[in-house]
């Protein structure tokens, strides 16, 4: 295996490595081919290759890493745990950047049960915080994403990801960041930079300009610590599901739910998934039954829909509160959905336990097995609602994978290491039924044309907007299919941009396509970048308005 030193790279790189080894201990500075290849694993067809991987363990070490990089003019790309699947994984925008892997900084630094917050380092995973709260009997729930137990909370928040609970609009729950700047200085945002500050974790804005937004979806600093508000546990949760049989029927459902989301009856993120999104959660593409056809033939799709007992769309969400509050919300939801002909079904702990019992009784019959599967799904949803992560929601990434789901799925599921092909497109649309249909109608023919199955979820990520997540799942081992996936992705991306349904987040492959030119926003971002990181040392090409062909955007 070729080591970094043997690979003929310039002396400057060698000197930087030597300096980093002195600063971090040698074993936390890697440049061997196997390590580099592991970090280059990606759900995208053309990952990038890092120059080296550094694993600092403290803010001070991150500062030291940055100062050495500045001296040697090497680009750094920080990752939290590097599980940004579908958006670039652990990869930098271009080859030859040095990965700064913060997964070893995984301390939970502070917890306040009374004021309902924690202070985290970037390496803290969903599983870790979830378990910590349970083991220490702290009556708070973490907001959880479907990305599985081993993903970083901070990493997701810095990408402005969203989860499932009333705290699912995660960026809104950040209270104070610590950030290492390109010159190695350590910035504390909010009140955190004042000596003896008492309110840093309870009031995020501080006094003076609010800087926190600058360090999300950006390359302006390396966040090493973050205050995060958590939700106090409620006495009661009900999960609810509702479905519509025909595609167009989802529009009035969206319009019926919007007032309840706006008035706070529905406090959590509501997810609206199409049939394939739900079906792909438990199985891979039925190659044999499809007779080699791609995409899924309509008749087979209808069959599978019936087998899975789902409609064209499934709405899934949770009600939180006291038993009486939840009962009121149930009533409001029933009333609102009545005219749509899509009544909600409610799931509570008692129903779930009874169904579990029934499934065990009937375990040897098909009906019992189907019930068992539903109980396991219900249990996972319930767990998610109260901040217990589950890898099963990653199944969609494996949809076209030749080898199917790993035997031990969902344990240790890692779509990048498992060589899954997946690209995500995440347009935001106003929360209106007609807008959902319009966006869907844009996407459908593009997927058809290129032979892909359109999975889509629309999430009510705040009170007024739907966050669409459209998956291009492809077989990474089939070069033709991978190429078609790239074209499908690209056409979809161009179509949503032209229609004005701009994504809330993009993968590396689209970073250089966010700036149409002469855009004052990107000019301002560029000026700030030049002021804070004049040598463009931090993550060049990441959300910086660089365009293909520009010196700043040749990613």
DSSP-derived 3-state class of residue 237: strand
Phi, psi dihedrals of residue 108, rounded to the nearest 5°: -95, 105
According to the binding rule CB under 8 A, does residue 4 interact with a copy of itself? no
Q: Which residues share a beta bridge with 544? A: none
Supply angle C-alpha 290, 294, 299, rounded to 5. Answer: 50
Q: How far is the CB of 148 from a copy of itself (least distance, A)?
A: 24
Check binding of 434 to a copy of itself (CB under 8 A). no
Q: Which of 234, 274, 314, 385 binds a copy of itself (CB under 8 A)?
A: 234
Nearest approach, Cβ of 399 to a copy of itself (angstroms)?
A: 26
Options 291, 292, 339, 516; binder of a copy of itself; rule CB under 8 A: 516
Give the x/- contact pattern for a copy of itself in 240-259, rule: CB under 8 A: ------------------xx
CB 131, min distance to a copy of itself, A: 23
Nearest CB to a copy of itself, comparing residues 92 and 461: 461
Is residue 462 at the binding interface for a copy of itself, with CB under 8 A as the rule? yes
CB of 467 to a copy of itself, least distance (A): 8
ω into residue 89 within 30 of 0, thus cis? no
465 binds a copy of itself (CB under 8 A): yes
In sequence order, what are the beta bridge partners of 460?
A: 466
Of residues 72, 225, 243, 267, which one binds a copy of itself by CB under 8 A?
267
495 binds a copy of itself (CB under 8 A): no
Neighbouring residues of 187: CB distance < 8 A, sequence distance ≥ 6 = 177, 178, 179, 180, 181, 193, 211, 221
Which residues make Cβ contacts (< 8 Å) with residue 469, sequence separation at least 6? 424, 425, 426, 456, 457, 458, 459
* 458 makes contact with a copy of itself (CB under 8 A): no
Report how far apart, in Å, the C-alpha atoms of 359 and of each of 226, 295, 351, 372 are. 43, 34, 12, 5
Residues 395-404 as b/e (b if ≥16 CB within 10 A, e otherwise) read bbbbbbbeee
117 touches a copy of itself (CB under 8 A): yes
Contact region with a copy of itself (CB under 8 A), list: 298-306, 377-385, 396-404, 429-437 = 429-437
Shortest distance in whole angstroms from residue 169 CB to a copy of itself: 9
Distance between CA atoms of residues 79 and 154, nearest Å: 10
Min CB(501)–a copy of itself separation in Å: 6
* CA gap 374, 353 in Å, rounded: 12
- Distance of closest approach, residue 154 Cβ to a copy of itself, in angstroms: 16
Contact segment (CB under 8 A) with a copy of itself among 270-278, 384-392, 403-411, 422-430 equals 422-430
What string marks each residue from 173 to 202 as x (binds a copy of itself by CB under 8 A) or -? Answer: --x-----x---xxxxx-x-xxxxxxx-xx
144: which 2 tokens?
Answer: 């959880």
User: Angle at Cα 224 formed by Cα 218 and Cα 227, nearest 5°?
Assistant: 95
508 lies in the site for a copy of itself, by CB under 8 A? no
**Nearest by Cα to 510 from 540, 478, 548, 472:** 548
From 8-16, 214-222, 284-292, 451-459, span contacting a copy of itself (CB under 8 A): 214-222
Among the listed residues 454, 459, 451, the one whose alpha carbon sits nearest the alpha carbon of residue 472: 454
Cβ proximity to a copy of itself, 300 vs 499, nearer residue: 499
Three-state DSSP state, 12: helix
3-state secondary structure of 524: helix
Closer by beta carbon to a copy of itself, 50 or else 166: 166
Q: Which is nearer to a copy of itself, 295 or 553 (CB)?
A: 553
Closest approach, Cβ 101 to a copy of itself, in A, equals: 23
The correct pick among 154, 525, 538, 539 for binding a copy of itself (CB under 8 A) is 525
Q: Does 84 bind a copy of itself (CB under 8 A)?
A: no
Show contacts with a copy of itself in window 320-379 (CB under 8 A): 321-322, 324-325, 328, 332
Q: Say if residues 74 and 15 touch (Cβ distance below 8 Å).
A: no
387 interacts with a copy of itself by CB under 8 A: no
Nearest to 436 by CA among 453, 472, 460: 460
If binding is defined by CB under 8 A, does position 211 make contact with a copy of itself?
Answer: yes
218 contacts a copy of itself (rule: CB under 8 A) = yes
Question: For helices 433-450 and 479-499, what crossing angle results, to 10°?
Answer: 150
Report the distance separating Cα 397 and Cα 404, nearest Å: 10
Instruction: Tell which positions 435-454 bind a copy of itself, by CB under 8 A.
Output: 435
Stretch of residues binding a copy of itself (CB under 8 A), selected from 216-224, 349-357, 398-406, 485-493? 216-224
**Is there a contact between 438 and 449 (Cβ–Cβ < 8 Å)?**
no
Closest approach of Cβ 379 to a copy of itself, in Å?
25
User: Rounded to the nearest whole angstrom, what is the least distance from the CB of residue 263 to a copy of itself in the complex?
Assistant: 5
Distance CA 59, CA 119 (A): 14
Q: Of residues 132, 203, 346, 409, which one binds a copy of itself by CB under 8 A?
A: 203
């Amino acid at each position: 295996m070729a080591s970094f030193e043997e690979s003929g790279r310039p002396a400057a790189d060698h000197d930087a490595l030597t300096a980093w080894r002195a600063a971090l201990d040698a074993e936390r500075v890697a440049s061997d081919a196997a390590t580099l290849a592991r970090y280059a694993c990606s759900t995208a067809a053309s990952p990038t290759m890092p120059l080296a991987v550094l694993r600092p363990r403290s803010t001070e070490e991150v500062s030291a890493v940055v100062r050495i990089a500045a001296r040697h003019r090497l680009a750094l790309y920080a990752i939290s745990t590097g599980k940004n699947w579908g958006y670039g994984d652990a990869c930098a925008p271009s080859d030859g950047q040095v990965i700064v892997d913060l997964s070893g900084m995984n301390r939970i630094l502070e917890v306040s049960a009374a004021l309902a917050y924690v202070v985290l380092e970037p390496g803290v995973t969903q599983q870790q915080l979830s378990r910590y709260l349970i083991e220490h009997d702290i009556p708070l729930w973490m907001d959880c994403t479907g990305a599985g137990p081993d993903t970083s909370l901070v990493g997701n928040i810095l990408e402005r990801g969203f989860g499932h609970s009333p705290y699912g609009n995660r960026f809104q729950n950040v209270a104070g960041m610590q950030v290492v700047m390109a010159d190695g200085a350590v910035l504390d945002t909010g009140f955190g930079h004042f000596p003896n500050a008492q309110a840093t974790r309870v009031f995020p804005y501080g006094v003076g300009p609010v800087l926190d937004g600058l360090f999300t979806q950006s390359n302006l600093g390396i966040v090493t610590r973050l205050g995060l508000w958590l939700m106090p546990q409620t006495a009661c949760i009900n999960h609810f599901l509702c479905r519509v049989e025909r595609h167009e029927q989802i529009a009035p459902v969206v319009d019926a739910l919007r007032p309840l989301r706006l008035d706070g009856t529905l406090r959590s993120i509501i997810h609206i998934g199409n049939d394939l999104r739900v079906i792909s959660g438990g199985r891979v593409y039925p190659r044999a039954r499809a007779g080699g056809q791609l995409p899924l033939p309509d008749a087979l799709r209808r069959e599978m829909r019936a087998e899975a007992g789902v409609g064209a769309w499934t709405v899934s969400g949770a009600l939180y509160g006291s038993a009486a509050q939840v009962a009121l919300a149930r009533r409001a939801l029933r009333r609102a959905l009545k005219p749509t002909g899509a009544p909600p079904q409610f799931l509570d702990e008692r129903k779930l336990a009874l169904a579990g019992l029934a499934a065990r009784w009937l375990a040897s019959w098909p009906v019992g097995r189907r019930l068992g599967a539903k109980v396991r799904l219900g249990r996972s949803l319930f767990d998610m609602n109260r901040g217990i992560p589950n890898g099963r929601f990653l199944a969609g990434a494996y949809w076209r994978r030749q080898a199917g789901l790993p035997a031990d799925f969902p344990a240790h599921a890692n779509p990048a290491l498992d060589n899954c092909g997946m690209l995500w497109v995440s347009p935001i649309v106003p929360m209106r039924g007609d807008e959902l249909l319009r966006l869907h109608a844009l996407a459908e023919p593009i997927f058809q044309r290129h032979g892909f199955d359109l999975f889509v979820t629309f999430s009510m990520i705040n009170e007024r907007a739907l966050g669409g997540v459209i998956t291009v799942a492809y077989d990474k081992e089939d070069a033709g299919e991978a190429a078609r996936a790239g074209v499908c992705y690209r056409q979809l991306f161009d179509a949503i941009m032209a229609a004005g349904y701009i994504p809330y987040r993009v993968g590396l492959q689209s970073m250089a396509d966010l700036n149409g030119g002469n855009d004052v926003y990107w000019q301002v971002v560029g000026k700030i970048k030049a002021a804070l990181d004049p040598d463009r040392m931090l993550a060049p090409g990441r959300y910086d308005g660089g365009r293909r062909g520009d010196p700043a955007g040749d990613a």
